[in-house]
Structure 1
Amino acid sequence: MDHTAYIAILSVAFLVLLQHLLGLANRNGKNKSRMRRPPTPPGAIPFLGHLHLIKKPFHATLSRLAERHGPVFFLRLGSRDAVVVTSAALARECFTEHDVAFANRALLPSQRLVTFDGAALGTASYGPHWRDLRRIAVVQLLSARRVGCMSGAVCAEVRAMVRRLHRATTTAGGAVTVELKRRLFELSLSVLMEAIARTKAERPESDADTDMSVEAQEFKQVIDEVFPYVSSVLWDYLPVLRWFDVFGVRNKILAAVSKRDAFLRRLIDAERQRLDDGDHSEKKSMISVLLTLQKLEPEVYTDTMIAAFCSVRDSFVAQAEIDAAVGHSRLINADDLPRLGYLRCIVAETLRLYPAAPLLLPHESSTDCNVGGYDVPRGTALLVNVYAIHRDPAMWEDPGRFLPERFEGGGRAEGLFMAPFGMGRRKCPGEALALQAVGVALGSLIQCFHWGRVGGVEVDMGEGSGLTMPKAVPLEALCSPRAVMQDVLQKL
Structure 2
Amino acid sequence: MAPLYYFIALLTITLLVLLSGHRRRRRRHLNLPPTIPNSLPIIGHLHLIFRQPHQPLHRTLTSLSSTYGPILHLHFGSRPVLIVSSPSAAEECLTTNDIIFANRPLLLSAKYLGFNHSILGAAPYGPYWRNLRRIATIELLSTSRIVSLARIRAEETRSLLRSLFSTAAADRWNLAEMKTSIKNLSLNTMMRMVDGEKYYDERFWLMVEDAFKLSGSSSVEDFVPWITWFGVAATKRRMMRLGKELDERFQMMVDERRRRRRSVVEEKTLVDVMLALQEEEPERYSDEIIKGMLWVLIAAGTESSSGTMEWALSLLLNHPKTLQKARDEIDFHVGRDRLITDSDLPHLHYLQNIIKETLRLYPAGPLLVPHYSSTDCTVEGYNIPGGTMLLINVYAIQRDPKLWKEAESFKPERFDEGEGSEGFQFFPFGSGRRKCPGEVMANRMMGMTLGALVQCFEWERVGEEMVDLSEGEGLTLPKLFPLEIKYKPREVMMNVLSQL
TM over 0.5: yes
Corresponding residue for residue 293 of structure 1: 277
User: Secondary structure at 2:82's aligned position in 1?
Assistant: strand
Corresponding residue for residue 306 of structure 2: none
Q: Deviations over 1:207-258 (max 9, x none)?
A: xxxxxx335x342132244444334432111110222335654343222222
1: CA distance, partners of 2:75 / 2:366: 20
1: CA distance, partners of 2:148 / 2:325: 30
**403-412 or 442-451: which moved more?**
403-412
**Partner of residue 237 from structure 1, selected from 223, 234, 238:** 223
Give unmatched runs, 5+ long, in structure 2. 1-6, 295-318
**411-420 or 40-49: which moved more?**
411-420
Corresponding residue for residue 392 of structure 2: 384
Corresponding residue for residue 382 of structure 2: 374
Corresponding residue for residue 175 of structure 1: 173
Q: Which residue identity does 2:346 align to in structure 1?
A: P
Q: Which residue identity does 1:290 align to in structure 2?
A: M
Corresponding residue for residue 206 of structure 2: 221
Residue 24 to residue 40, structure 1, CA distance change in 2 (3 Å): closer
Q: Which residue identity does 1:45 align to in structure 2?
A: L
User: Secondary structure at 1:402's aligned position in 2?
Assistant: coil
Report matched runs for 1:281-430 at 5 Å.
281=267, 284-310=268-294, 311-408=319-416, 411=419, 413=421, 417-430=425-438
Aligned residues: 462
**Residue 416 (structure 1) shift:** 7.0
Q: Which residue identity does 2:206 align to in structure 1?
A: Q
2: CA distance, partners of 1:253 / 1:139: 31
1: CA distance, partners of 2:238 / 2:461: 40
Corresponding residue for residue 189 of structure 2: 191
Report matched runs for 1:66-215 at 5 Å.
66-170=65-169, 174-200=172-198, 213-215=199-201
User: Secondary structure at 2:168's aligned position in 1?
Assistant: helix
Which of the two has higher C-alpha Rg? 1
**Residue 289 (structure 1) shift:** 0.7
Q: Which residue identity does 2:289 align to in structure 1?
A: M
1: CA distance, partners of 2:113 / 2:197: 23
Q: Which residue identity does 1:107 align to in structure 2?
A: L
Corresponding residue for residue 461 of structure 1: 469
Q: Which residue identity does 1:61 align to in structure 2?
A: T
1: CA distance, partners of 2:422 / 2:37: 39
**149-158 or 177-186: which moved more?**
177-186
Residue 249 to residue 88, structure 1, CA distance change in 2 (3 Å): closer
Residue 237 to residue 135, structure 1, CA distance change in 2 (3 Å): same
1: CA distance, partners of 2:433 / 2:279: 29
Residue 275 to residue 143, structure 1, CA distance change in 2 (3 Å): same
Residue 232 to residue 53, structure 1, CA distance change in 2 (3 Å): closer
| TM-score normalised to structure 2 length | 0.87
Give unmatched runs, 5+ long, in structure 1. 1-10, 12-16, 201-212
**Residue 468 (structure 1) shift:** 2.3
**155-164 or 250-259: which moved more?**
250-259
| % identical aligned pairs | 42
Corresponding residue for residue 313 of structure 2: none
Residue 22 to residue 243, structure 1, CA distance change in 2 (3 Å): closer
Residue 21 to residue 243, structure 1, CA distance change in 2 (3 Å): closer
Matched, 1:270 2:256: yes
8 Å Cα contact 2:212/2:476 also seen in 1 = no
8 Å Cα contact 1:395/1:416 also seen in 2 = no
Matched, 1:255 2:222: no
**Partner of residue 36 from structure 1, selected from 31, 36, 40:** 31
Matched, 1:47 2:42: yes
8 Å Cα contact 1:331/1:488 also seen in 2 = yes
Matched, 1:435 2:443: yes
**Residue 332 (structure 1) shift:** 0.8
Residue 410 to residue 118, structure 1, CA distance change in 2 (3 Å): same
2: CA distance, partners of 1:441 / 1:335: 13
1: CA distance, partners of 2:92 / 2:42: 31
1: CA distance, partners of 2:90 / 2:103: 15
2: CA distance, partners of 1:395 / 1:197: 43
Q: Which residue identity does 2:256 align to in structure 1?
A: A
**54-63 or 468-477: which moved more?**
468-477
8 Å Cα contact 1:391/1:399 also seen in 2 = yes
Corresponding residue for residue 482 of structure 2: 474
Residue 23 to residue 221, structure 1, CA distance change in 2 (3 Å): closer
Corresponding residue for residue 62 of structure 1: 61
8 Å Cα contact 1:175/1:478 also seen in 2 = yes
Corresponding residue for residue 489 of structure 1: 497
| TM-score normalised to structure 1 length | 0.88
Corresponding residue for residue 14 of structure 1: none
2: CA distance, partners of 1:108 / 1:232: 11
8 Å Cα contact 1:451/1:479 also seen in 2 = yes
The alignment's C-alpha RMSD in Å is 2.6
Residue 267 to residue 355, structure 1, CA distance change in 2 (3 Å): same
1: CA distance, partners of 2:453 / 2:246: 32
User: Secondary structure at 2:191's aligned position in 1?
Assistant: helix
8 Å Cα contact 1:90/1:372 also seen in 2 = yes
